[in-house]
């Protein structure tokens, strides 16, 4: 019986495969044992990712800007990122040289006024015309007195004009040189006082406006700009030619 058991045990040992120990040269790599990433490699990968996003955004913008309208015309996007509306209001001040009906040198008086400006070139949605075409709705006033204590004459002249203009921008600055032509009406009020008796004479004449100047619109904020001008403007009423030399200042939005 012992001989039989001994033979069974020896046979089992011969059939069983040997258990080998793990090779110490290739240990199991735990997550905490992985080498740290190289900082330079991370920086290069981040830079590549940023460049890739910029290229994608540029391609998207180009694709949108090159979209065609219903009739196949190129769609201009000149006004997409412009926060300004194109309106300005300015106070006017300067010297008004009123032509003399007596043939003498012009009477120089203070010229005051107010104007509103509309950049109607924005309605065309074309970049070269957006700030180059604009028009003024303008009121200008000047007055003077002449005579003695017994006989005195007081005269006031009002100009109400509408005048479009074209401006040439000076490079990338906010400045531009402009020429302007327009028209309107001139309203003149005259009162003649003799002793205590006063006689008033009022009249209206058509006015032709013309002139040149320098216009600036430096930006104060995202939607607000300082608007100013220096100009030489003429007002032709009948045979009289009045000249305004001065400027204006206000705000544009």
CATH of the domain at 121: 2.40.160
Among 33-47, 63-77, 122-136, the minimum mean pLDDT is found in 63-77
Q: Is residue 135 within 8 Å of 148, Cβ to Cβ? A: no
Residue 134 has pLDDT above 90, yes or no: yes
Q: Determine, yes or no, domain membership for 222.
A: yes
The answer on pLDDT for 69 being more than 80 is no
The answer to whether residue 166 is domain-embedded is yes
pLDDT tens across 166-201, in order?
999 998 899 999 999 999 999 999 999 988 888 998
- Does residue 60 fall inside a structural domain? no
85-to-11, 205, 217, 227, 246 alpha-carbon distances in Å: 101, 34, 13, 14, 26
Residue with tokens 């327009």: 182
Could you read off the pLDDT of 196-214 as tens digits, one per residue? 888 998 999 999 999 999 9
The reply to whether 26 falls in a domain is no
Assess whether pLDDT exceeds 70 at residue 71: no
Q: How far apart are CA 9 and CA 184, in angstroms?
A: 127
Q: Is residue 176 part of a domain?
A: yes
14 inside domain: no
Is 124 part of a structural domain of the chain? Answer: yes
Q: Which of 141, 139, 188, 135 is nearest to 161 (CA)?
A: 139
For 210, the domain range is: 87-144+160-183+204-252
């Amino acid at each position: 019986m012992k001989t039989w058991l001994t033979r069974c045990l020896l046979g089992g040992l011969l059939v069983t495969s040997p258990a080998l120990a793990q090779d110490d040269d290739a240990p199991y790599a735990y997550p905490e044992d992985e080498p740290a990433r190289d900082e330079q490699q991370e920086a290069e990968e981040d830079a590549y990712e940023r460049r890739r996003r910029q290229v994608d955004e540029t391609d998207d913008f180009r694709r949108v800007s090159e979209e065609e309208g219903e009739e196949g015309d190129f769609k201009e996007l000149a006004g997409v990122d412009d926060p300004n509306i194109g309106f300005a209001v300015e106070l006017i001040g300067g010297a008004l040289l009123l032509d003399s009906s007596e043939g003498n040198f012009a009477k120089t008086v203070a010229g005051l006024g107010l104007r509103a400006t509309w950049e109607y070139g924005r309605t065309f949605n074309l970049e070269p015309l957006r700030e180059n075409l604009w028009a003024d709705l303008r009121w200008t006033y000047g007055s003077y007195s002449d005579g003695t204590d017994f006989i005195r004459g007081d005269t006031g002249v009002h100009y109400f004009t509408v005048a479009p203009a074209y401006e040439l921008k000076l490079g990338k600055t906010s400045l531009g040189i402009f020429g302007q032509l327009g028209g309107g009406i001139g309203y003149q009020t005259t009162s003649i006082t003799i002793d205590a008796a006063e006689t008033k004479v009022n009249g209206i004449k058509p006015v032709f406006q013309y002139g040149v100047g320098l216009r600036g619109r430096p930006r104060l904020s995202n939607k607000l700009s300082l608007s100013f001008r220096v100009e030489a403007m003429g007002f032709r009423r009948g045979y009289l030619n009045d000249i305004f030399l001065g400027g204006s200042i206000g705000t544009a939005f």
